[in-house]
Structure 1
Amino acid sequence: MPRITFHKNGQVFEDEVKSGANLVVRAGIKQYPYPHLVYECGMGKCAKCACKVLSGGELLPPPNWKEKKQLGARLDEGFRLACQLWLEHDLELEQIPESI
Structure 2
Amino acid sequence: MGKKLTIGSLKYDHMKHADSIEQTVNIGSSTVNEPGKIIEMKQNQRYFQIEVKTGQSILNAAIEKNLSLDYKCKKGTCGKCKVVLVNGISYLQPANHLEEKKLHHLIQSGFRLACQAKVR
Contact 2:99 2:112 in 1 (8 A): yes
Q: Give the C-alpha shift of residue 26 in structure 1.
A: 3.7
Higher strand share: 1
TM-score, normalised with respect to structure 1: 0.65
User: What are the ranges of 5 or more consecutive residues in structure 2 without an aligned counterpart?
Assistant: 1-35
Higher helix share: 2
TM-score, normalised with respect to structure 2: 0.56
Q: Secondary structure at the match of 1:83?
A: coil
Aligned length: 85
CA 33–2 in structure 1, closer or farther in 2 if over 3 Å, else same? farther
CA RMSD of aligned residues (A): 2.4
Distance in 2 between the 1:67 and 1:45 partners? 8
Distance in 1 between the 2:40 and 2:66 partners? 9
Q: Give the C-alpha shift of residue 77 in structure 1.
A: 1.6
The letter of the residue matching 2:80 is: K
Q: Give the C-alpha shift of residue 68 in structure 1.
A: 0.9
Residue among 42, 49, 52 paired with 1:14: 49
CA 25–11 in structure 1, closer or farther in 2 if over 3 Å, else same? closer
Q: Which of 1 and 2 has greater Rg? A: 2
User: What are the ranges of 5 or more consecutive residues in structure 1 without an aligned counterpart?
Assistant: 89-100
